[in-house]
Every structure is written in structure tokens, then in C-alpha cells.
Amino acid sequence: MTVPHNNRTMIAMLDTLSRDYLHGKEEVLRLSMIALLTGGHILIEDLPGLGKTTIALALAGMSGLSFGRVQCTSDLLPSDITGLSVFNREEGHFTFLPGPIFNNIVLLDEINRAMPRTQSAMLEAMEERRVTVEGITHHLPDPFMVFATQNPSDQSGTFPLPESQLDRFLICTGIGYPPEHLEKGIIAGGGIRERLEGMTPAASTADILAARKSVENGIYLSNKVVDYIYALVAATRSHGMIQTGLSTRAAISLAQASRAAAFLEGRDYVAPDDVKGIAVAVCAHRLVMRPDQETADMGGLLRALIADIALPLA
């Protein structure tokens, strides 16, 4: 099988990360990589202290991309993120000071602590990939990826993200506690933040852009798999507990993410397994449940739906 060179680089990068730095976080790492390769953003939803920030830092360090961080609080203003113009008295005009969003990987920590106004400004920048400050449009760097984290919304002092904003994240996932033996190792060895500082990048920006290009153009998506994706989307639309099923944008995202997943598996075609493996992360947060079913576990529901759809095997 012919595997493109950049593919091997990416896989090697993932392997190094999960082997040397982030034990027991393979799945989150894989999903982050998929988001990076498809130009999407990722929302990590879990309790504090499980390594959300570490993952973002590690990914940035390994891929050699610039890293910016915004710690969201309830008094955070949009300009704290985008940056602002400052009057330069010597030169007699305003100079634009770019905010932390002008980085390749931006960690928006605890995004649901920010005010809706600030949230919406950030999410708009995510979507448009540019920022307009005082009439001047500034383009964000490429690749650009938002790595948002969120505490489960039942915690106090949070502004839950509205559904329409959630839709802008390609992937939404949890982390979960590491397995027992790994956690014991982590306890014994202490944090790895310091080690992350001294990381040598395993890839360049150009590598990432090339990989992203091959994901977009070099992965074959068969009609059989398209049918499978469609069957999945259609099933969410006719389910009794779901008010609004998956949108066409969700289906497109699912196809893109599947391509990236296939790429990371070292294949140049998408298999239904890829779709199946990524569907919950890509789709669950986009479902809008009926009012009386809001507390239902959307991931579990989606898994049950997928289990009912026959894979195209012949």
C-alpha cells in the first residue's frame, strides 16, 4: 500500500506523544489530530485537572506550531482575545497589538466561563478565520485550531454554549480518568508540564499543511460509505427522542473527519469503520433533544443508533 510520506510523519508524531508524554490519552490525541488535519476545532468537556491544557500544550509543542492561551473568566472582553489598537505616540498613529488568538493553536480554557458576548466574538473568529478590529480585517494564521475546554455546565458561574455555537466545533469529547496503572504512574512521576517546555517539534507547519491537503484531496470516499453516512444522519432525523437531527453541515464534517481518521490509519480510502469510530465525537454534541429528553446521554443514544445501521460489507 502506498502511504504518503506526510502521513507517516503524523502517525509518528501521535505515537511519540502518547508513548512519551501523554499516557492513556490516545483517543483525545487522535481526535485532536483529526481536528487539526481537517481544519476544525475541538471542544474538550470534562472536569478540571484531567489534563486538558496539557494535551493542547503537548500537541502544539510536538507539531512546532505557535501556541496561545486564553483563560476565560466572566469579565473577559472580546478585545482581550482579538487584541486591540494602541496609540503610538512616537509615530503618531494607532498600532494593532494582536491578541492571543493570533496563534496556530489557541487554548480557550473554560470557555463556558466567558460572557456570551465574548464567546460569540471568539466563535465568530473561529468560523471566519479572521478578526476585524476598528475597521481593519486581520487574517488569522494557517493552520488555525481552537482547543476549547469546558467544565460540565452544572458547575456554578458558567454560561452554557448555545447549540448553534456548539455546531462550530468539529469534535466534542471528554477525557475521562486514565486507567488505574497509568494514573498510578502519573501520580508517582508528577506532572509533565516542565518536560513539555523542552519538547522538540517532530513536524513543521509545512508538514501539517501538506498533510491537511492530502486529507482533503487524497482520501477516496466511496459511495458505499456516503450511503452509510447518510443512513446515520437520516436515522437521527427520525428518532423519537431527538428534536433536531444532524444537519448537512454535520454530515460534511463527519465525512471530513472520517477522511482524517482514515489518513491516520494509514489508508487512502475511507472505511465505514472510520465513520463509526468518529461519529460520536463529531455528532453527539450537535443533536438537539426533545425538551423532555434533555438529560439523556446523547453519546449513548448515538452509539445505539449506529449499532442499528448495517455496515456496507460487500
Residues 2-8: contacts with CB within 8 Å, 24+ apart?
Answer: 2/268, 3/266, 3/268, 4/214, 4/218, 4/268, 6/207, 6/210, 6/211, 6/214, 7/211, 7/214, 7/263, 7/264, 7/266, 8/266
Angle between helices 26-38 and 248-264 (to 10 degrees): 110
Q: Enter the DSSP assignment of 154.
A: T
Shortest distance (Å) from residue 215 CB to another protein: 16
Nearer Cβ to another protein (168/276): 276
Shortest distance (Å) from residue 177 CB to another protein: 24
Shortest distance (Å) from residue 13 CB to another protein: 21
Task: Return residues touching another protein (CB under 8 A).
Answer: 1, 220, 222-225, 265, 267, 269-273, 276-277, 307, 310-314
Shortest distance (Å) from residue 220 CB to another protein: 6
Shortest distance (Å) from residue 271 CB to another protein: 5
d(C-alpha 277, C-alpha 253), whole Å: 14
* Residues 57 and 109: beta-carbon distance below 8 Å: no
* Residues 150 and 259: beta-carbon distance below 8 Å: no
Q: What angle is formed at CA 100 by the lines to CA 278 and CA 52, rounded to 5 degrees?
A: 40
Nearer Cβ to another protein (11/84): 11
Half-sphere exposure of 235 (CA within 13 A, CB side): 18
Nearer Cβ to another protein (52/276): 276
Shortest distance (Å) from residue 272 CB to another protein: 5
Shortest distance (Å) from residue 250 CB to another protein: 21
d(C-alpha 39, C-alpha 144), whole Å: 7
C-alpha cell belonging to residue 268: 487512502
Sign of CA dihedral 174, 153, 67, 78: positive
Nearer Cβ to another protein (138/224): 224
Q: What is the DSSP string of 212-249?
A: HHHHHHHSB--HHHHHHHHHHHHHHHT-TTEEE---HH
Shortest distance (Å) from residue 306 CB to another protein: 9
Nearer Cβ to another protein (60/279): 279
Nearer Cβ to another protein (196/226): 226
Nearer Cβ to another protein (1/187): 1
Nearer Cβ to another protein (90/308): 308
Nearest Cα to 104, choosing from 244, 205, 227, 226? Answer: 205
